[in-house]
Amino acid sequence: MVRLTTIDSNIWRPESGWVYSLTPRADGGTDIDLVVVRKGRSVRGRFRAAIMAVAGKAILRSDLHKSLRAIEQSRPQETRKGGVSASGTSP
């Protein structure tokens, strides 16, 4: 598990952040589950948190897939195995 916590932000409260859970698969790949917690500090932060609650899951999933695809493509062909599978939630 990898936890990223907001320390100082004008928009997000300190309990905001990301949690990545990585689970190995039998085929050699890895399942990645991402949980994003956004607690707004101000009116602007609360507005952004509301937008993230509505559209954030699709945006974050797409961005994560693009990043993982780029990482896989940068590895030599002989080291690639089962790949990755990503999911995400934004409470």
Give the pLDDT score at 70. Answer: 85
Query: What is the per-residue pLDDT across 34-88, written as a single tens digit (0 to 9) for each?
Result: 888 888 898 988 898 888 888 877 887 888 888 888 888 887 665 555 555 555 5
Q: Where are the domains of the chain?
A: 2-89
β partners of residue 12: 40
Query: What is the per-residue pLDDT across 12-38, written as a single tens digit (0 to 9) for each?
Result: 899 899 898 999 989 888 888 888 888
Structural Rg of the chain based on CA atoms: 15
Q: Tell whether the model's pLDDT for residue 90 goes beyond 50.
A: no
- Tokens linked to 10: 């004008």
